[in-house]
Every structure is written in C-alpha cells, then in structure tokens.
Structure 1
Amino acid sequence: MNGTSEGPTPATDLDRSVITQSDESDSARADESYRSAFTAAPLAMAVVDREGLVVHANDTLGALFGSTSEQLIGRVAADLVDLASDARTWHAYREVLRGRRAKLRCTRRLKHPDGPSAWVQVTVAPLADGGPGVLLSVADISARRQLQARLRHLQMHDPVTKLPNRTLFFERLTAALEAESYELGGTGRVGLCYLDLDGFKAINDTLGHREGDRLLAEVAERLTRCADQAGYGRTSAPLVARLGGDEFALLVEDSTGTDQLAELAESVLTALQAPFDLAGQRLSLSASIGVVERHAAGTTATGLMQAADTTLYWAKADGKNRWTLFDPERNAHLMTRQALASTLRPAIERGEFVLDYQPLVGMSDGRLRGVEALVRWDHPRFGLLAPNRFIALAEEDGSIVPLGRWILKSACRQARRWQLDHPDEPPIFVSVNVAVRQVWDSDLVADVAQTLAETGLAPHLLQLELTESAVMGSGGRPLRALQALSDMGVRIAIDDFGTGYSNLAYLSRLPVDVLKLDGSFVRGFQYEGGDAPPSPADEVIVEAMIQLAHRLGLTVTAECVETAAQADRLRGIGCDTGQGWLYSRPVPPDRISELLGSVAPVGPGQPAVGNP
C-alpha cells in the first residue's frame, strides 16, 4: 500500500460540458425522429392541448379530412371527429383532457369531403412522455364494418327466402315494443299476422325439399308484395320474416287498429290463392293466420307471440284457410282449461272433489227411488265447478280412472249410510256415471266388487250409467265387463238415450236394465201456461221408445222434467221414473236424508220437493 486511494477519477468541468452537449444532441435527434415518425405514420394522429385544440397533426389526418396537416392546427379536435354528438362521449373526452380518465375509445361515422362517409375508431389517450395534452388517433375501420355488416346480414336473414329470420324478427319486435313511438307521433300500437302454410309437409314430402324451398321462396315474394302494398302511403311497410319451417310473420309497427291487420291478413290469403307453378305442376296453397293487435305499452315479445300462436291454433282448428283475431275471453277460457288440466290429478289426491245428489222419483207415486251422484270440483281458485268443466279433461289425461274410483266409493258409502240411518224406509239406489276409459284403462269389475264389499251396499242398489254412444256397438272387453257387472246384480243404465244410435234391436242383446231418455225429448212436451207449443212428434217417439223398452224388460227414466205438465204426460205414457228440477236440483247428502220418506208432488201447481 502506498497510501493513495483507488476509485473513479472525478469528472472535470470540461468533461461535464462534453456530456451535456452529447445528451442534448441525442435528445434533438430523438425528437426529430419522433416528429418524422409522427408525420409519416399511416395512422391519422394529432396532438391536442388541454383546451381541446390541435397542436400538431400528421399528413394522414390531413388527408382524411381533405386538407393539409398545417390547416388542422388550431382546430377544435372534438369538432373534427364529432365527439360532442352525445353527452356520454363528450363527458368522457373532457375527463381525458383533464387527466381524470386514462383513455377514450369510440366509433364515429365521418363524411369524407371527396366521397362516401367512412367509419372510424377514435382513441384519445395521454401522451407517452407525460407532456401536456393528449394524443388523438383516428383509424379507418370501414372495411371491417362492411365485413361485419355482411356477416350480420347472413346471420340475420334466411338463406332460402332472403327474408329476415327469427333472430332479426325478435330484435325488431322487441325494439318496437320498447320504443315510445306515441311520443314521436306514432300510434303506440303493434300488430302481428302469424301464418302457417296448410298442408306444406305433404308438398315437401311429395316433391322433395328442393321444390319445397322453391315454394317457400315464392310465398316469401308474395308476402313481401302484400307488405309493400300495405305500406304504401304509410311511414313504413310491415316487416316480413320467416320464423322457421313454413311459418311466417308480418310485423306492423304503429298499427292503426284491428281493421288494418284484418285487411293485411285478407290480402295475404288472396295472394296465396293463386296457383303456384312447381315441378311442372300447378299447386294450390292456403294458409292459416293468427292476428293480434294491441297497445305496445305493457306488452312483451313473449306474450305477443304466445297470443299469436294461440290464435293461429284457433284458425287451424276452425277449418284452416282463414285468419282469426285474438279473443281475450276465448284465451282466458283456454288458460283456465290448461290450469285445470295441470292440477286435476293433484286435486284428486288433495280431496277437492265433492258429490251432490239429484233425486230420481217414481212417476206413479212420487216417491224417492234413487239418486244420481254428480261430482263437483271445489277448486281453490275458480270455486265450485260443474262436471262439464273438467270431466272431458279427466278423460283426456286418464285421471278419470282415479276420479271415477273415488266417486264410486264415495257414492256407495253414502247410499249405505242412508240405508242405515233410515232402516224403516225402502233403501234407495245410487246411480254413478262411468266413462268408457274407465272400462278400458282399469278393472272396473274388480273395483265395483271391492267397493260393494267394503261399503256393504247390495249390488242391486248400485246403478252404473254409460252414454248411449259408449254402449252401442260395444264388444270385447267393454261388453264382457258390462255382462260381469250385470251378473253381479249391478244395474246398467244408458244415459242420454235417443241422441246416438238408438238401435233397440241391438240393445236387446246388451245387459242393460234402464234407459234414461235425453232431456231434449222431454222439452218438446206441452209446457204449463202455454209457454211453448207442444211437439206431438216428440210425444209419439217417446211413447214408442217406452213401449219398446218395456217389451224388452227395461225401465225408463225421463231426464230434465221441469213442469208438472211434463210429468203428467210422461206418467200418462208409462214412464217409470223422472229426474229434473220439478223434483229437486242436485243437493248435498243431508238434503236427501230430509227427502227420504216424503212424497214428491206429481200434480200441477204444487211446489217442488228439495228446492230451496
């Protein structure tokens, strides 16, 4: 060690001067390179100060606006690229200028001075060196937008008919329902014609899908012409769309009412009536159309389409080749029917059904001989429902089997209770209606045998009623079931007799004990007070049926007996029992208990027993 310190040699003033001059030279060269790159860049750019004025602009930006870059200096940048056209973008731009927001990016459509307008993407961001102001860049995206537009058109249009497809239709429909057009001079209403071609599947299957597509394309052309004619003199024509398969829709925005939609639907039916030339053949075609028209406010796209679909179904069910207007009352009935159908089986399990009983009275002495059990549904929402509201539904979905089994057991149990409570009175029989499906879908014979055994009711005190159309022509299992029930001692009755086959010769070969004459015959008899003229033909027919029935060993019950005059005539021609409001409406079981032992009025001018 020699005592000297080792390390970097201190810089002299001359060294510092040389370094400073070198840095300034490098900075100048870098700045010059930056300016050259900025000026020659293919991306249109400008430097904008904190006041929003252009400080520097490159040649590309000048060319975009048909000027030189020098001519843009001092211009308001927001005006050049239309940043003040909407409040949201303008606010965001001001925030970037003030340094409170990192970046703004938006799309604008600019009018080129020498040609068509161009779509551009505008970006505003702080300068990279942190200097005052911001960098504004403008990228031409017209080619990209055109490609997107072509792709969207392909995505939103049906390739066969070139019409708007389901996606575009619902987009337009939703926009029409959300637009407050009434504030802009519109009607605030919307209309829809929803159509389905009748029998198109058969044409498609016969001639092939290629010819089927040709037919769809020709249908689309005719629908478009109808829409154009409907839109003549109006703000816009209806939108025609293919929703899929052979389903089309015509959407009318700002409709003027149902008359406009009805006229459009009629024009469509007329246009489709002209024959189509297809595969060397002239084909006729028709359509069914569901028409809906309503206020746009409060309407959803789903709700409108459901109404249109329901109405189209009505048009099909009513015979096709027609248009049908949506009916709220008819729809409410349908919705109620669907609601009942969906809750029918659970209602049986919950015990929501009750039985009323209508007396069957001997015509000769006026005494109570039996009762018919009539089921009611004590619905928690719709109240007490008569059988005509739900029995058909039960037959359709098969719930008539468990419901019928419950009715049978409840009625037999009640008949046995009456018998035990009134031991001094002749026991009355109970009549229970049986649907054909109960015979096919269940072991009715076993159900009856088990019920009689459980309740202790004698077989001859049970009467099973089947409709005439169900009994006539019976063979196989139904006939064997009826025969087994008859052999058991159960009475078999034909309900509503006279409305079906009325084949008494065939009837003689069936195990039937009772005929219940349909009420339409009884209503033709002489009424009290001359309210309606007599119908001699009805009396002759009824008398003949009663005589023939008696010769076959059958008894006859007349339904719908409402006046003493009717009862007198029926008794005079030999009818055995009567049922109707003259004697009693259907009543709860306790009212039947009160009637046991009483004598029903058979003479004119006396009050009816059992009526409140």
Structure 2
Amino acid sequence: MSQVPPGPWAASAARTDDGSADDGIRRFAAIWSRVIDPYTATSMTRAELEEHLLPLTRRLAAILESVPFDVRPAKDIGRAMVQAHCTDPQVLSQSLTVIDAYLLLYRPPAESLPPEAARGHLARLQHAFAAGFAEALRDRTLAEQEAIAHASLAAQARAERALHASEARFRALFEGAAIGIGISDLEGNILDVNETLARMFGGRVEEFRTRNVNEFMHPDDAPHVWKQYRELIRGERDHYRFEKPYFTHNGSAVWTNLTVSLIRDQNGTPQYQVAMMEDITERKLLTDRLRYQATHDPLTGLGNRALFFERLAEAFDSGDESTRLGLCYLDLDGFKAVNDSLGHEAGDRLLVAVAERFTGCLTGRNQLVARMGGDEFVALVVDPDCPEEVAGLARRFLAALDAPVRIDGRELSVTVSIGLLECTAASMKAAQMVQAADITLYRAKAQGGNRLAVFDAEANAREITRYGLTTRLPAALEEGEFFLEYQPLVALGDGRVMGAEALVRWRHPQQGVLGPDRFVALAEQTGLIVPLGYWVLEQACRQARAWQLELEQGAPRINVNLSVRQARNPGLVNDVARILKETELDASSLHLEITESALIGAEDQALDALRELTDMGIGLALDDFGTGYSNLSYLRRIPVHTLKIDRSFISGLQHPDAPGNPRDEKIVAGLVSLAHTLDLAVTVEGVETELQAERMRALQCETAQGWYFARPGPPDRITALCAAGADRWTGGACA
C-alpha cells in the first residue's frame, strides 16, 4: 500500500491543542455514520460507528492532499467498510453520495488547485473507493460461495449414511442463503432454485423447474462464457466464474457475479452443476456511471481524450497488424475570437453545438469523435468500409460548419481545419499516428484554415526535425554549441577591410554545422533569440577588441545583426552598454544591422532606443534595403548610417555576357543616389565576381561583402586579410 503524506488537516491538528482542526473531519464522520447506520449489519452503536469511521475520514482527506495525487489507498478504505460488516449495497451508494456532497465542503481544496481539478480528484477517489468495496464484497461472497459448494459436496458424500440429516442441513443452507442458487443436470435442465434466485429474476420457483440453462443466454455474453460452460459439463473443468447479465421476467437486466461448479459422484463422474449468483446490478450501474464520467467530456457529452486513446490502443493491440485506421485531427478556426468577444459561456455553448454537428456526421459503429480539450477534436475510424470513408467523414465535418450557429439571437460562424491520416497498425505506433495527424492539422492551419490537409511523410519529417531543433535550442546555448564566423566588409575604393560581419553557426551534435537559416527563425519564434543575440553581440565585441589589440590602427569595426525581438526589448540600451563596458570596446567600433521588418509597427519606445544607441556612437545599418516594406519615413525617424543593398539586385551582373535584368542596375543606382542624398553610406551584399565589384564601384558604393572577397570564416581569416591589404583583391583573386 502506498504511503499518503499527511495533508493540511494533520499538520493543523499537530499545531493546536483544542482539536479545532479536527472539527471538519469529525462533522464529516458524523454525517457519514448517520447516513449508513440503517444499512449496516454490525453490532456497533451509531456513536461507535462514528468513531470507527473517523480514521477512515482522515485517510480520505489525506488522499485528496497527496502529492503526487494517489487514489490507491481509497481502495483499502472501501475494503475496510466491508471488513466492518457494512456490506449492504446501500452502504456503498450512500457513502459515495456523502463523499461527493460533503468531503470538499469540510476539506476545502488548496488555493493552488483549481475547482475543476479538485472535482476530478474527488471523482477518481470515489471510483477507487467503490472498486475496493466491490472487490472486498466479491471476495467475501466468493468465500461464502466456496463454503456452500463444499457443504453441498460434503452433503452429497454423506447422503448414503445420513440421508435425512444431510438433506435437512442442505435444504436449510440452500433455502436460507443470501445468494441465488440453482441446480441443473448436465443437459442444462433446471432441477431446483432457491427463493433468492427466483426473487432476483422476478419469478416463482416452480417456473424455473421447467426451463433450461441455455434459455438464459444474453446478447452481451462474451463467447468464452458459454465455451467454459460446455467444458464444465464435459468434465474438463470443475468451475468457472464471471460477471454476467440476465434478462428478468419484466425484460430488465440483472447483473450477477456468477459461479458455476460441477458436482461429481464418488467415482468422479459429472452429475450436476450448481450455479450461485450474487446480484451486483447496483454496483455495476455505479461502476458504469463512474466510468462514463471518467471517459466523457462533461461539457459536450463526447468521448474525451482518455476514451480516444483507449480505443486507439485497442485497435493497435488487437494483434492484427493489417488493421486499417483513419484519424482526423480537428481544430476550430475563429473560436478564440468568439471566446474573447462574447465570453466563455458563449464559447461553451458554441462547442456544444459544434459537437452535436460533428456527432451527426458519424455513419457507423466503427467511427468515434472525441473532444481532446479546448477547441480540438479527433475522429477515429477503425477498419474503414471503403477507401473513401475517412476522407468522406472529414468532408462532412467541413460541411457541418458551413452554416453559422445561432446562440442568443446571434449567428456565430466558425470553420474547422483538419489533418487527415490513414495507416495500418503495422506502419506506425499510436503516439506517432496522433503526432503525425496533429502536424498535418497545422499544415492546414498554415494554409489559411477551413480546409483538409492529408498526411505527407516528407512534410511530417521536416516538421519533426524542425521541432527537434526548437526543443534543442536552449540546451545548445547552455552547452556552448554555437560559434561565430566573420565575413569582411571591403572598401571598394582602396580594397581595405573596413569591417567584419559576425555570423552565428550551430555545431549540432547530430546534424553537424547548421547555418542561421536553419535556426534563427525558430529562435525568434521561441524568444531564445534575445539571449542568443546578446551572446553573439558579446562574443563579437570581444573579438573586435582582440583585433584592435593585435592590429592597432588597421583593426576592422564589427557588424552584428539585431533581431526583431532584440530591437523591441526594453533592456536593449542597457544590455548593449553593459557589453561594451565589459569588453572594453569603443562604441564607434560597433555597427548594428537591423532589417526593415524589425521597424514595421515598432512603437516610439523602440525607435527611441535605436536613437539612444546611435547617440552613444554606435553605427546603425538598415539591412536588406529594397526587399521589404521600404518605408522611407524610417530613414527620417531613425539615425541610420548605412544602407545595405540586398544581393538579389546584383545576382544578374556576375558575367559580362549575362543579360540579367537591366532594371536591377538602375534600381541599385537609384538606391545609391538616395542614400548619398541623405548622407548615408552604401554596402552591397552578395558580390561574387570581379565584374560585380567593378560595377558597384562605378555606382559609387562605398563597401561590399561577398564570396569574391572571402567566405565567412574564423577570426584569424580576418586578421590575415587585414594584413594583406589592398593587394589581396588585385586581379580579382577570390578567397
């Protein structure tokens, strides 16, 4: 039995002398004893019963306070009730009612535990309590049944020596038993039943003596029930035990705990069969009700994620790897807007209406729709009848939300995005199937929603790889997997290395060296770009200071990219100032490069931060100018020093005979002219040939970078280029 840590009551009781902390427990125990006292078969007075229930109440309270939550001890409490001779089914029913109504009242949940979670814990506690009670009662009943069976066998064995005495004892046991007993021959003809069994079925004893056991088959009987029955009458087994339903005389169902034993003669030859039945109908109904609560969504009435995963596991565990499965993962489009504008009550009513429409789309018993939580649903199809069944179901889901839902006089419109996946049980595991359908759903979302996306293995693999990189990013930064390379910025007029741009790389333990195109966007989405960006800035500034100490007057400035999130981070100015101070780098040696996308929609606070940086002496370059929004008002509002022209404008100018786009050179000329009119310098990116360098020099671009001058490399590459001077580029040599 697991140990339940003491809850707040126990701690409170230990701190007080007057016992006031125990009042809530005592009040609950008093109510509990008063409710079940009329149904107990004990010799205890009600006051004694209350004292007996007091430690059980403390254990119930401790279970609700256990961390992690563990309901297993509740089964022992249910068993304890039976051991105290509280065996009437009403004791179980009334106990569960009292626990449901009063336990949370006298043991309020911790403030950190939401009411919904507390009610969920309470329901699981009730279920475990009922299970323990039922198991103990079953064990007790089985012991009685075994005693009856042994008594019956003993009576038969002594029949020749003391027939009359034995018959008298057997009849007393048979007729006075609290459980139903029936005797039949090996052909199934019923020879006798007791009054308890007759009352259980709503008939008279005489009526049963004309019937056969086979007449009591029930549609819900499992095949192995009657298989074991046939084995018993053939003498291949001596008994079997099941929970089995029967129809009564009025057509209702009675659930029994059935034990059938074979009676043999003194030579071991099968003679009779004895059936003993305990009526467990109320317990079965209670168990079914608790199971329904555990496997169904209380808001919509649909199955919940527990039921969905249970059915999915059953399909995968069936043993038939050729079983085909279809899965639709659904997410409502526009539901958040309804919740935010009209409130959660309207959102809940909308979910109920959507669930009803989705249920109406189901056409077979092999189809299930369940609510996963929030506005997410799933539909499972096991062994589709035809290849189009799953796709047809998905299309019906889409069509079901074509018409708006009317709530409180308002017409609310929502649509649904669906990720569809079909596979065999052999092709993937259950968790992989759900993950793949979920990824496919978000492809449908990314395409605008209100549509169906079908699983694509390659797209799924890319998304899994992307997810793996996303989850690895924090550890990669902590474990030093990132490093910097530097690409020179060369003055087109005299060939000097004017600066170096710091470019971050990721040395991934499995995938090797990754460029920023593989992970910077992910870091931006997750927010990790801020600490990563500051790490890059600090490393680059330290390297720039090292160049200054080594090269003195010929040291290049350092250019560092500033991400969108960094640019809008309130601590930007202080962090940059701190890094400059720690690395002993003069602000004039640092240029920050920012893209137009970082400026679009930027508030005045972010623009003010950029102005503060330039006031400190830091240079500011507008990166990829001409490819984005290109709002010239930013050139007026922020103190930009340099425009960086994107490589796409010069890609067609690599060779003398390349036709290229004649407008590209004119655009570059216009951008250069605009920049010079505003007293801004121009850097052109992507220079790969001597011809491109010459044309950009002719257009009076000040600096350039690209593979013609050098690929990105380690810091000593920049040191060597600075030492080589202008001769490095003579003759169009390329690194």
- Sort the TM-score into its range (normalised by shorter chain): 0.7 to 0.9
Alignment root-mean-square deviation, CA:
4.8
Of 689, 692, 702, the residue aligned with 1:566 is 692
Residues 1:265 and 1:496: Cα distance change in structure 2 (over 3 Å): same
After superposition, the C-alpha distances for 1:19-41 in whole angstroms (9 at most, x for unaligned) are xxxxx9x9665334235447757
Aligned partner of 2:646 in structure 1 is 518
Of 41, 58, 66, the residue aligned with 2:192 is 58
Residues 1:377 and 1:105: Cα distance change in structure 2 (over 3 Å): same
Counterpart of 1:136 in structure 2: which amino acid?
Answer: V
After superposition, the C-alpha distances for 1:330-381 in whole angstroms (9 at most, x for unaligned) are 4444444444344434433332221111121222333332211111121223
The answer on 1:30 being equivalent to 2:165 is yes
Aligned partner of 1:195 in structure 2 is 330
The answer on 1:362 being equivalent to 2:477 is no
- TM-score, L = length of structure 2: 0.63
Aligned partner of 1:411 in structure 2 is 540
Higher radius of gyration, 1 or 2: 1
Residues 1:198 and 1:430: Cα distance change in structure 2 (over 3 Å): closer
Residues 1:457 and 1:257: Cα distance change in structure 2 (over 3 Å): farther
Counterpart of 1:491 in structure 2: which amino acid?
Answer: G
Kindly report which structure 2 residues correspond to 1:57-76, keeping only aligned pairs within 5 A, or say none. Answer: 57-59=191-193
Counterpart of 1:507 in structure 2: which amino acid?
Answer: L
Measured after TM superposition, the shift of residue 252 of structure 1 is 1.0
The answer on 1:290 being equivalent to 2:407 is no
Q: Is the 8 A contact 2:366 2:383 kept in 1?
A: no
Aligned partner of 1:180 in structure 2 is 319
Measured after TM superposition, the shift of residue 276 of structure 1 is 4.4
The answer on 1:251 being equivalent to 2:380 is yes
Residues 1:261 and 1:546: Cα distance change in structure 2 (over 3 Å): same
Cα distance in 1 for residues equivalent to 2:316 and 2:275: 39
Q: Is the 8 A contact 1:46 1:55 kept in 2?
A: no
The answer on 1:609 being equivalent to 2:734 is yes
Cα distance in 2 for residues equivalent to 1:504 and 1:209: 44
Q: Structure 1 vs Structure 2: percent identity of aligned residues? A: 44
Measured after TM superposition, the shift of residue 66 of structure 1 is 9.8
* Equivalent position SS for 1:373: strand
Residues 1:574 and 1:93: Cα distance change in structure 2 (over 3 Å): farther
* Equivalent position SS for 1:465: strand
* Equivalent position SS for 1:390: helix
Residues 1:504 and 1:283: Cα distance change in structure 2 (over 3 Å): closer
Aligned partner of 1:528 in structure 2 is 655
Aligned partner of 1:19 in structure 2 is none
The answer on 1:435 being equivalent to 2:563 is yes
Aligned partner of 1:312 in structure 2 is 441
Kindly report which structure 2 residues correspond to 1:483-498, keeping only aligned pairs within 5 A, or say none. Answer: 483-498=611-626
Larger deviation, residues 337-346 vs 430-439: 337-346
Cα distance in 2 for residues equivalent to 1:32 and 1:444: 98
Cα distance in 2 for residues equivalent to 1:83 and 1:136: 19
Cα distance in 1 for residues equivalent to 2:465 and 2:304: 33
Measured after TM superposition, the shift of residue 593 of structure 1 is 2.8
After superposition, the C-alpha distances for 1:72-94 in whole angstroms (9 at most, x for unaligned) are 99x9xxxxx99885579959997
Cα distance in 1 for residues equivalent to 2:681 and 2:586: 20
Measured after TM superposition, the shift of residue 392 of structure 1 is 3.3
Counterpart of 2:315 in structure 1: which amino acid?
Answer: A
The answer on 1:353 being equivalent to 2:482 is yes
* Equivalent position SS for 1:516: strand
Measured after TM superposition, the shift of residue 550 of structure 1 is 1.9
Cα distance in 2 for residues equivalent to 1:429 and 1:88: 92
Residues 1:488 and 1:140: Cα distance change in structure 2 (over 3 Å): closer
Cα distance in 2 for residues equivalent to 1:241 and 1:448: 51
Aligned partner of 1:426 in structure 2 is 554
Q: Is the 8 A contact 1:93 1:104 kept in 2?
A: no
Q: Is the 8 A contact 1:471 1:494 kept in 2?
A: no
Aligned partner of 1:105 in structure 2 is 241
Cα distance in 1 for residues equivalent to 2:682 and 2:408: 64
Q: Is the 8 A contact 1:367 1:600 kept in 2?
A: no
Kindly report which structure 2 residues correspond to 1:85-100, keeping only aligned pairs within 5 A, or say none. Answer: 85-86=226-227, 97=238
Cα distance in 1 for residues equivalent to 2:227 and 2:631: 84
Counterpart of 1:380 in structure 2: which amino acid?
Answer: P
Q: Is the 8 A contact 1:521 1:538 kept in 2?
A: yes
Aligned length: 559
Cα distance in 1 for residues equivalent to 2:639 and 2:296: 66
Counterpart of 2:275 in structure 1: which amino acid?
Answer: S
Aligned partner of 2:309 in structure 1 is 170
Aligned partner of 1:467 in structure 2 is 595
Q: Is the 8 A contact 1:472 1:507 kept in 2?
A: no
Residues 1:439 and 1:509: Cα distance change in structure 2 (over 3 Å): closer
Measured after TM superposition, the shift of residue 419 of structure 1 is 4.1
The answer on 1:579 being equivalent to 2:579 is no
Counterpart of 1:123 in structure 2: which amino acid?
Answer: T
Counterpart of 1:192 in structure 2: which amino acid?
Answer: L
* Equivalent position SS for 1:273: coil
* Equivalent position SS for 2:241: strand
Residues 1:445 and 1:388: Cα distance change in structure 2 (over 3 Å): same
Q: Is the 8 A contact 1:360 1:371 kept in 2?
A: yes
Aligned partner of 1:549 in structure 2 is 675
After superposition, the C-alpha distances for 1:229-253 in whole angstroms (9 at most, x for unaligned) are xx5xxxx542233445544332111
Measured after TM superposition, the shift of residue 383 of structure 1 is 1.9
Q: Is the 8 A contact 2:588 2:618 kept in 1?
A: yes
* Equivalent position SS for 1:250: strand
The answer on 1:383 being equivalent to 2:512 is yes
* Equivalent position SS for 2:369: strand
* Equivalent position SS for 1:122: strand
Residues 1:534 and 1:65: Cα distance change in structure 2 (over 3 Å): farther
Q: Is the 8 A contact 1:375 1:387 kept in 2?
A: yes
The answer on 1:371 being equivalent to 2:500 is yes
Q: Is the 8 A contact 1:181 1:254 kept in 2?
A: no
Larger deviation, residues 425-434 vs 438-447: 438-447
Counterpart of 1:33 in structure 2: which amino acid?
Answer: A
Q: Is the 8 A contact 2:189 2:211 kept in 1?
A: no
Measured after TM superposition, the shift of residue 393 of structure 1 is 3.7
* Equivalent position SS for 2:554: coil
Cα distance in 1 for residues equivalent to 2:347 and 2:669: 62
Counterpart of 1:388 in structure 2: which amino acid?
Answer: D
Cα distance in 2 for residues equivalent to 1:520 and 1:88: 83
Aligned partner of 2:3 in structure 1 is none
Kindly report which structure 2 residues correspond to 1:84-163, keeping only aligned pairs within 5 A, or say none. Answer: 85-86=226-227, 97=238, 104-108=240-244, 121-124=257-260, 136-139=274-277, 141=279, 147=285, 151=289, 154-155=292-293, 156=295, 163=302
Which stretches in structure 1 are left out of the alignment for 5+ residues? Answer: 1-23, 76-80, 98-102
* Equivalent position SS for 1:409: helix
- TM-score, L = length of structure 1: 0.74
Counterpart of 1:180 in structure 2: which amino acid?
Answer: G
Measured after TM superposition, the shift of residue 559 of structure 1 is 0.8
Which stretches in structure 2 are left out of the alignment for 5+ residues? Answer: 1-158, 215-221
* Equivalent position SS for 2:399: helix
* Equivalent position SS for 1:568: helix
